[in-house]
Amino acid sequence: MKPWGTRILLIGALFLLSYTVRLKQRQTPQGTPSPGPGPGPGTVELPDGTFTFRLDPAAFRAEFPQLQSYRCRELIPGDGVCTGAPGPPLLLLAVKSHPASSARRATARRTWARPGVLGGYRVRAVFLLGMSPEPRHMALLEEESQEFGDVVLWDFAEIHHNLSLKERCFLRWVGARCGQADFIFKGDDDEFVNPPALVAYVLQTPNAAHVIHGNIQRHSVVMRGGKYRVSSALFPQGKYPNFPSGGGFLLPRASVPGLAAASERIPVFPLDDVYLGFLALAAGLRYRHDDRFRVFGMKDELCLYGEAVLVHGVSLDRVEEVWRGLYTERRCNGTGPLPS
């Protein structure tokens, strides 16, 4: 391992220790601050024509201080992902992953995440990660970075609420290191992504470069319990703004500056897909819904995968089987070519 890889492990261990201590000190019972008398100064108001959403920075600082105070710092910068000689326009596959998910990344690299040129677009993947407390996971990640050069690692802990930090920091990363990407697909490592269908979708959709594409959730109900719980003290309203489901969506390059600017003034919401919805609303961006973004799964039939842009929640073995059936054995009519 290179010396700087050893430093990553040391920095990560120290960071996670201090992070855990700070988090325990700051948490209130059930993670819920006492409700105040009402929205404080600096409250952000975001109307969408149906509702006006109010975000009180003081409430966010009280309940999720680590999300509001974090400043993006890259331990592995991924500065070679978008470099190279000028060529076809770039379609970047930005994949949220966990340090422990090396097998998922390996499967993706063998199938849908391998680089190439497809339909006039250069397709390139980058994996987005936070820190793990397991040195073994971090060592494997460093080896992957050296071999493939497709990893960006930040020094926040890889936990559920920090996915919103991954969203915010990625917007900064794109602006600094990959501003030439014409389209950015954001997805997860536990899914089947179909780059030929994705490129075909871009080429066939009018005004594709002017809207955000995905499976759009419209005024979803706020959940007060379970994994996606949000307290009424943090967000008292009962509905969210529209947002693209985090399982997979497509951003055009023109949307990135507005989203990044909004991330500098909007409190970091603890659910990453809802957070993007707030950023898009603040930036005045529009959506296009398409059912081919199969974020909630579908009937497990090979040719349906060929029609989808993505299918969320697919096992590793099934990803390999589907890829082989569509693009090696060619068992479905109408599937496009593989990246060259």
Q: What is the domain-level CATH number for residue 101?
A: 3.90.550.50
Where do we find the tokens 């060619």? 330
Give domain status of residue 332, yes or no: no
Q: Please report the pLDDT score of residue 36 as a whole number.
A: 40
Give domain status of residue 83, yes or no: yes
Number of structural domains in the chain = 1
Please check whether residue 214 is in contact with residue 290, taking contact to mean a CB–CB distance below 8 angstroms: yes
Low-confidence ranges of the chain (pLDDT < 50): 1, 4, 17-37
Residue whose C-alpha is closest to residue 253's, from 75, 50, 91: 91
Give domain status of residue 248, yes or no: yes
Q: How many CA atoms lie within 13 A of 312 on its CB side?
A: 19
Give domain status of residue 161, yes or no: yes
The boundaries of the domain holding residue 300 are 3-34+42-327
Measured in degrees and rounded to the nearest 5, phi and psi for residue 61 equal -65, -35
Give domain status of residue 336, yes or no: no
Q: Please report the pLDDT score of residue 311 as a whole number.
A: 97
Give the pTM.
0.89
Give domain status of residue 335, yes or no: no
Give domain status of residue 211, yes or no: yes
Give domain status of residue 338, yes or no: no
Structure tokens at 56: 């009180």
Q: What angle do CA 55, 270, 70 make, to 5 degrees?
A: 95
**DSSP code for 222:** P
